[in-house]
Chains A and B, each alone.
Chain A
């Protein structure tokens, strides 16, 4: 522990020296934001949505905050952690960025931790959703969501709605296990029973054999987490195996009925109950303006929960700059970020001053057809949900 602390002190010293050089080199009246996203590779849809969300914010609110010009520098890391880390470091030392943002996947966000600590640069996580990330550095904050945050309300809702026996089906990696753990914990504490826990490999999305297992154990419902993208295949196989005819309900986190892909899923998706923080069908003037502006700028593409992370991430940076009156020092910005609250297109949100994670409403939604298109229509709200994983940590 001593060595660790000494190292931190040493690196802070180095960083301070660096900081003076950096601020000197950066232009006085510009704030540079380095947006690092997977723009190519299997997770490129995340990158596209987040970037479009961030750009929509700048489109709607101008490119100045607290009298300074905000400049967005977008870089692709192709979903590879060492690239994220190198790009982050290069943006800090060569471009003199003041804030880093983006991060499509958990390991990508985690890889920049040491850079943040060394350079005193805040990082706004706009997509990655594993709960533990923000514990790795004081400079992380988040505008997406965490999986425990979305899973627990789904469990509560299931308990309240006569669902007693559930099979969980999740993709076998970090976020999937997060979802399974927290759903199970909440659901069984309130008297529910988990009949079976099925994990599907990330690489091989053929759900047929797993769905057969689900059907054979005759639960009231199946709780599902899948990374966005494989949802449509899942929906088709769910219907083909006749699970809905067998009276098995489908409850899930909102990744499964991703707004961006929902229309392609078609009829089988109708009636799916999901819990999530954002739906393009959320009824508020803020959301209407956001969706309209987003679709206009992106050739009709519908914003999903990734886009809102990008949009709110930019808002967070703008608001923090207003608060510090244009001061771009990393520690000052982080202080300003803590406790900020605003009305987002997703509803009221705030940043937990203790964990720097987002506090937001989780909505229960049902897939319905509205004007010939499928939407996640919200019907129940769990207000101001904190990330339960970290709430538990602080209680210990």
Chain B
């Protein structure tokens, strides 16, 4: 999480290019907790056959939250309208599958392209203004898009939703089943591939320059970081990610309802991300797991009053966890914290000289 500063302290005076490269490689190496997480996620296919549907939802929410993390956690852009890209992707995938071609992977590319283009176009609005104006701009764009979808009922089905979406087998081979196994494997693969790509992106010089912009845009500009272009690029990438998450929702439910564009989507994803912690990609995944399971569990116990309990639990989590779940360990005794950090931060294949 705070690897940047951690490493900066250890670098000896003359920073040669090879040391920098090693540093970058070290930064992007797989850590123990990541490996455990992915092994668990893939093992769930066999171990939790009756929970495929909720796991699918977690994977989709996680991807959506990762997409928000790319702009919020790395570039420092706050957004209350990230649901716009999610919804656009969902509709693009739905309309494409219904009218043109039912194969889902093709649909993913179409949804990604649609959201990406829209993200690129609107990124210029985000360049202007401070955090508060950005909140309003992003919120405004999302509201406008929701109303457009509502009015274009001939294409989107309006308030009734887009029904009759027949999603074909994945790559012509794997039919979506009632148990949701195919759907989960599909979403998990997409999540895994896109998380790997995002890891590469944020650990590359590109990602570091984003963090520099987040830290101090003026100083970033002075060391030669083209901040406007970087923000446009990452905003577009995040839009593509959100669009793909939306498309996954369409493909696994074969229905698009107008509430994919509703405000609560944008708010929920922000909640999920803050819960899991911003700025290290896995916050989205961890937040999605905690939030979705908690909601599912509580709403089964008490269908009428679960919102009260989830609110209470969230407040407690935030108070106890000091801002996010990623830092709950600050409550442990110091010696335990250090040992834990060593295990969690263990990196694959990185027994570099000079490291302990």
CA distance A111 to B252 in the complex (A): 11
Which of A4, A10, A82 has the most CB atoms of chain B within a 10 A radius of its CB? Answer: A82
Q: Are A14 and B299 in contact (CB under 8 A)?
A: no
Q: Is B300 an interface residue (CB 8 A)?
A: yes
Q: Is A219 an interface residue (CB 8 A)?
A: no
Q: Is A248 an interface residue (CB 8 A)?
A: no
Q: Is A106 an interface residue (CB 8 A)?
A: yes
Q: Are A80 and B303 in contact (CB under 8 A)?
A: no
CA distance A188 to B254 in the complex (A): 39
Q: Is A136 an interface residue (CB 8 A)?
A: yes
Query: Separation in Å of the B303 CB from the closest CB of chain A?
Result: 4
Q: Is A7 an interface residue (CB 8 A)?
A: yes
With A76-B299, A93-B179 known as contacts, the answer to whether A173 contacts B150 (CB < 8 A) is yes
Partner of A86, one of B160, B166, B253, B300: B253
With A7-B168, A93-B50 known as contacts, the answer to whether A81 contacts B159 (CB < 8 A) is no
Q: Is A101 an interface residue (CB 8 A)?
A: no
Q: Are A82 and B255 in contact (CB under 8 A)?
A: yes
Q: Are A75 and B299 in contact (CB under 8 A)?
A: yes
Q: Which residue of B lies closest to A128 (CB)?
A: B160
Q: Is B338 an interface residue (CB 8 A)?
A: no
CA distance A82 to B260 in the complex (A): 9
By a CB distance below 8 angstroms, the chain B residues around A106 are: 159-161
With A11-B175, A86-B53, A118-B178 known as contacts, the answer to whether A40 contacts B306 (CB < 8 A) is yes
Q: Which of A20-65 contact B (CB under 8 A)?
A: 37, 39-40, 44, 48
Q: Are A92 and B178 in contact (CB under 8 A)?
A: yes
Interface size class of B (residues with CB under 8 A): 20 to 34
Q: Are B178 and A18 in contact (CB under 8 A)?
A: yes
CA distance A82 to B166 in the complex (A): 16
Q: Which residue of A lies closest to B90 (CB)?
A: A82
By a CB distance below 8 angstroms, the chain B residues around A85 are: 253, 255
Q: Is A94 an interface residue (CB 8 A)?
A: yes
Partner of B254, one of A40, A79, A114, A174: A114
Q: Which residue of B lies closest to A22 (CB)?
A: B178
Q: Are B254 and A86 in contact (CB under 8 A)?
A: no
Q: Is B158 an interface residue (CB 8 A)?
A: yes
With A7-B166, A111-B253 known as contacts, the answer to whether A14 contacts B178 (CB < 8 A) is yes
Q: Are B175 and A174 in contact (CB under 8 A)?
A: no
Q: Is B215 an interface residue (CB 8 A)?
A: no
Q: Are B180 and A80 in contact (CB under 8 A)?
A: no
By a CB distance below 8 angstroms, the chain B residues around A115 are: 178
Q: Are A93 and B178 in contact (CB under 8 A)?
A: yes
CA distance A15 to B179 in the complex (A): 10
CA distance A371 to B253 in the complex (A): 50
CA distance A82 to B300 in the complex (A): 16
CA distance A82 to B255 in the complex (A): 8
Q: Is A353 an interface residue (CB 8 A)?
A: no
Q: Is the interface of A mostly helix, strand, loop or mixed?
A: helix
CA distance A106 to B153 in the complex (A): 14
CA distance A75 to B304 in the complex (A): 9
Partner of B304, one of A3, A76, A108: A76
Q: Is B102 an interface residue (CB 8 A)?
A: yes
Q: Render A112-149 as a binary contact track against B, CB cut-off 8 A, 1 for contact.
A: 01110011000000000010100010000000000000
Q: Is A110 an interface residue (CB 8 A)?
A: yes
Q: Are A110 and B54 in contact (CB under 8 A)?
A: no
Q: Are A136 and B164 in contact (CB under 8 A)?
A: yes
CA distance A78 to B265 in the complex (A): 13
Q: Is A336 an interface residue (CB 8 A)?
A: no
CA distance A118 to B254 in the complex (A): 12
Q: Render B280-307 as a binary contact track against A, CB cut-off 8 A, 1 for contact.
A: 0000000000000000000110011011
CA distance A130 to B163 in the complex (A): 13
Q: Is A90 an interface residue (CB 8 A)?
A: yes
Q: Which residue of A lies closest to B56 (CB)?
A: A86
Q: Render B236-258 as a binary contact track against A, CB cut-off 8 A, 1 for contact.
A: 00000000000001000111011
Query: Separation in Å of the A367 CB from the closest CB of chain B?
Result: 28
Q: Which of B20-63 contact A (CB under 8 A)?
A: 50, 53-54, 56-57
CA distance A92 to B179 in the complex (A): 9
Q: Are B303 and A174 in contact (CB under 8 A)?
A: no
Which of A39, A106, A114, A119 has the most CB atoms of chain B within a 10 A radius of its CB? Answer: A114
Query: Separation in Å of the B88 CB from the closest CB of chain A?
Result: 16
Q: Is B259 an interface residue (CB 8 A)?
A: yes
Q: Are B300 and A89 in contact (CB under 8 A)?
A: no
Q: Are A80 and B53 in contact (CB under 8 A)?
A: no
By a CB distance below 8 angstroms, the chain B residues around A79 are: 259
Q: Which residue of B lies closest to A119 (CB)?
A: B178
Q: Are A4 and B166 in contact (CB under 8 A)?
A: yes
CA distance A90 to B292 in the complex (A): 15
CA distance A340 to B299 in the complex (A): 35
By a CB distance below 8 angstroms, the chain B residues around A10 are: 175
25 contacts between A and B (CB under 8 A): A7-B166, A7-B168, A14-B175, A14-B178, A39-B304, A74-B303, A75-B299, A75-B300, A80-B259, A82-B253, A85-B253, A85-B255, A86-B54, A89-B180, A92-B178, A93-B53, A93-B179, A107-B159, A110-B163, A111-B161, A111-B253, A113-B163, A118-B178, A136-B163, A174-B160
Binding site for A on B (CB under 8 A): 50, 53-54, 56-57, 102, 150, 158-161, 163-164, 166, 168, 175, 177-180, 249, 253-255, 257-260, 299-300, 303-304, 306-307
Binding site for B on A (CB under 8 A): 3-4, 7, 10-11, 14-15, 18, 37, 39-40, 44, 48, 74-76, 78-82, 85-86, 89-90, 92-94, 106-108, 110-111, 113-115, 118-119, 130, 132, 136, 173-174, 202
Contacts A40-B307, A107-B258 supplied; 19 other A-B pairs, CB < 8 Å:
A3-B166, A75-B299, A76-B299, A76-B303, A79-B259, A81-B253, A81-B257, A82-B253, A82-B257, A82-B260, A86-B53, A89-B178, A93-B53, A107-B255, A108-B257, A110-B255, A111-B163, A136-B164, A174-B158
